[in-house]
Chain A
Amino acid sequence: MSAITITPPAQRKLKNHVSITQTVANSFTMAYRGLLKIKRTPEQLFDVTLQPIIFTLMFAYLFGGAISGDVQKYLPLLIPGILVQTVITTSVVTGVQLREDMDKGVFDRFKSLPIARIAPLAGALLADTLRYAIATTITFVVGFIIGYRPEGGVGFVILAGLLVVVCSWAISWIFAFFGVIARTAGSVQGISFLVLFPLTFLSNAYVPVDTLPDWLKWFATVNPVSHLVTAVRELANSGTFGADAWLALLGAAVVVAVFAPLTVRAYMRKA
């Protein structure tokens, strides 16, 4: 009975709140769990490896001639756009997987442990930034192979990539929220794509906004995704960290500030 002993209540230091340090530590442990799961089931990385390749090639050769005259001229416009769209799309999977994960018994144990309530959610979302990083890298590499030469240089391309990963992490809280409130993984996917498609396509990701009718131009201009796309273009193509980058970060902060508490509350109510 060496390993099985009990510590009576009187000998324990009991506290009824979770400190910030513990919250961060718990979240990182959960992120470690997420990474282990990715390592165990590498097939779930199919989407982040194949989608950037297929989408980038497809859009470049399909629209390049029509929009910019030729493919080479279209790439500086397209690559940042397709990057943002691809990475945000993969963040939907975060919500779907969270739903599947929450249906498993292990979440019952997480709920019964004296840990920060946000940790299982924050950890899952944190681990998924690896997926976004993979999608980002592959998109840039495919772009480079077909002739994209970002003038901002390697440093700014990396910065642009980081900006996309951070913003996608923020947006994944929206899909995590759907993941927590929905009944099935399938419905999470359904609701999420309903939000995702207008948000990513009704932007400046693929076409210059000037070509759009006025009402659509208005939406495409205020759309936070457009600010992110513009920020990535400025960073990668000219090496400037401009107003749009700050706006994108502000938008990301607002999304987290709204959806993280909502998600945790919904999660705890279900608990």
Chain B
Amino acid sequence: MTTSSEWAVEAHGLVKVFGDNRAVDGVDLTVRAGTVYGVLGPNGAGKTTTISMLATLLKPDGGEATIFGHDIRREQQVVRQLIGVTAQFASVDETLSATENLVIFSRLLGLSRADAKRKSAELLEEFGLAEAATRPLKKFSGGMRRRLDLAASLISQPPLLFLDEPTTGLDPRTRAQMWDTIRRLVATGSTVLLTTQYLDEADQLADRIAVIDTGRVVAEGTADELKASVGESSLQLRLADPADMEDARRAIAAVLGVEAVVSPEGSRITAPMRNPDTVTDLFVTFREAGIHLTEMSVQKPTLDEVFLTLTGHGVEEESGPGQDADEAERVNA
């Protein structure tokens, strides 16, 4: 039980095979309690399948996993008492109202009739759905539905929350609200395991990220570590006078020892920055040569670049060929 408080999720070599498709092919994940862990990958990479196995919705074909030290195969019911799951497609009853949905879930979780009503009202208030409480869900927007879904996952006050693509299909404003809610959840001590295909989202929310592609974890670490693994930051400069371009390039080659790239419009220079210390020397050289800058910035590699480097194929668009595989994931889940 000593390990159960430290690690919310420990998974080793998880495998799930659908027919001859190894949807999840030996995934290792360890999530420290009280942190946000992002599983990042394109459609059909195996994210949903991995979460489904950890949440006891699917039986793994291989590997081991524990939730707070409880085995997902032998102690299914215990695991279910420790988790909340918000699936990619809102898992709420369309024909019923928001209150009815939450009351039914609360009753199923063993709350008395009065407690179920009180809890539902509190959660609806918390998620800004109090006014829509008695409206049928058919009239709910996508964002409202997601919020209700999240509220339903929080009834049992679970220490571990699975969020499968919590913001897919939401407009930017609703997405920002969802992020805010997730951050508040973590502030209460909850552990969150979320999947996303948005690099930005993983970067914003997650303490650690696993990049997953074709059923395997291809990289793992903090956002900064992942970015660093791709290579160095770059120095970006804009010159006051484009006529100085050649002098500037020569100075960079002399001081930094690297070849600078000139942007097509001709006034911006990008140079790899291996040693930030030498940048001071470069600026001194510029001043002595009378080269004036209008702008300078340091660009870290983006997760987009990370992804491209790690998988060699970049992040596919939502309507790309990954869609079929994603659909299969849902059907099988």
Contact = CB atoms under 8 A, between A and B. Distances in A.
Interface stretch (A103-111, A140-148, A166-174, A218-226): A103-111
Contacts of B154: 3-4
Q: Quick one: which of A1, A6, A37, A107 has the most chain B CB within 10 A? A: A6
A4 to B, nearest CB: 6
A59 interface: no
Interface stretch (A15-23, A82-90, A237-245): A15-23
Interface stretch (B73-81, B246-254, B295-303, B320-328): B73-81
B95 A108 contact: no
B236 interface: no
B96 interface: yes
Given A2-B126, A112-B57, A105 B91 contact: yes
A211 interface: no
B62 interface: no
Contacts of B94: 104, 106
Given A106-B93, A112-B55, A114-B109, A4 B81 contact: no
B126 A114 contact: no
A110 B70 CA distance: 20
Interface residues of A, number: 41
Nearest to A8: B159
Interface in B38-96: 55-58, 68, 70, 74-78, 80-85, 87, 89-96
Contacts of A105: 87, 89-92
Contacts of B105: 109, 113
Contacts of A9: 4-5, 68, 82, 159
B125 A40 contact: no
B125 A109 contact: no
B272 interface: no
Interface stretch (A26-34, A61-69, A126-134, A198-206): A26-34
Nearest to B55: A112
Contact of A22 (B1, B90, B110): B110
Interface string A39-63: 0110000000000000000000000
A17 B108 contact: no
A114 B81 CA distance: 6
Given A3-B125, A6-B190, A108-B85, A14 B78 contact: yes
B77 A114 contact: yes
A29 to B, nearest CB: 4
A108 B87 contact: yes
Nearest to B158: A6
A12 B125 CA distance: 26
B219 interface: no
Interface string B124-163: 0110000000001000000000000000101011110000
Nearest to B84: A112
A118 interface: no
Interface stretch (B180-188, B276-284, B308-316): B180-188
Contacts of B77: 15-18, 114
A10 B68 CA distance: 10
Interface of A: 1-10, 12, 14-18, 22, 25-26, 29-30, 32-33, 36-37, 40-41, 104-115, 119, 271
Given A37-B95, A105-B91, A108-B333, A29 B125 contact: no
A14 B157 contact: no
B107 interface: yes
The 7 closest A-B pairs by CB, nearest first: A109-B91, A3-B122, A114-B80, A3-B126, A105-B91, A112-B85, A29-B107
Given A3-B126, A113-B109, A40 B95 contact: yes
Interface in B176-207: 184-185, 187-190
A36 B57 contact: no
Contacts of B9: none
A75 to B, nearest CB: 39
Given A3-B126, A4-B154, A115-B108, A16 B5 contact: no
Given A22-B110, A112-B55, A106 B92 contact: yes
Given A6-B157, A36-B100, A114-B109, A108 B57 contact: yes
Nearest to A115: B108
Contacts of B158: 6
A46 to B, nearest CB: 16
B123 interface: yes
Contact of A7 (B57, B96, B159): B159
Contacts of A15: 77-78
Given A9-B4, A109-B91, A112-B83, 11 more contacts: A6-B159, A8-B159, A9-B159, A10-B1, A14-B81, A26-B108, A33-B96, A105-B89, A106-B93, A109-B85, A119-B108
